[in-house]
Amino acid sequence: MVPKRLCYFGDSASIHLVRWANFSLRNGWEVHLVSDRQPCKGYADGVMHHRIRTPTSYSIPLPFITRFWVTMKLISTVRKIEPTIIHAHSIPGYGDYMGILSKILPDVPIVVTAWGFSHMESELSRPMRYFLSRMALRSADAVTASAPSMSHKLSEAYGLDKTK
């Protein structure tokens, strides 16, 4: 039998992620959380945290170096975890890495959850962020949103299939 192993990738200081992780743990999943931040209080015992320290933590300010570093660390960490499902929270941001990850680990289903559209609107004018977000959303096996209106905006802005 395949283990029910869930890997979340997101801001471990987010109350939303605390709730998702704890819910999944209570429902029989082995839960791993990969983040570049220290987890906040509230996680149940049994949620396994994997912290990826970004180069910006070491005073390297170049965004492409940070992205490359996080991508390599994320791939390495996810391979060790061997998840049944990967669930990224926040696009743009943590979810942007899922397009690349889906190409490297094609057999692992990926879910991307978007929280709010206001911060996304400014990202639409940044070509690299738009490209990464679009690739991630289109590569995901499922995309969830915090509201039906958000779902509609995501479909329009990134040309998504509405059945995702």
Q: List the domain boundaries for the chain.
A: 5-158
Residue 68's CB: how many other CB atoms inside 10 A?
Answer: 12
Q: Does domain 5-158 have CATH number 3.30.360.10?
A: no
Instruction: For residue range 108-163, list pLDDT tens digits in order.
Output: 999 988 876 655 666 666 777 788 888 888 888 998 887 788 888 888 878 887 77
Element containing residue 68 per DSSP (H, E): helix 63-81
- 3-state DSSP call for residue 98? helix
- In this prediction the pTM is 0.85
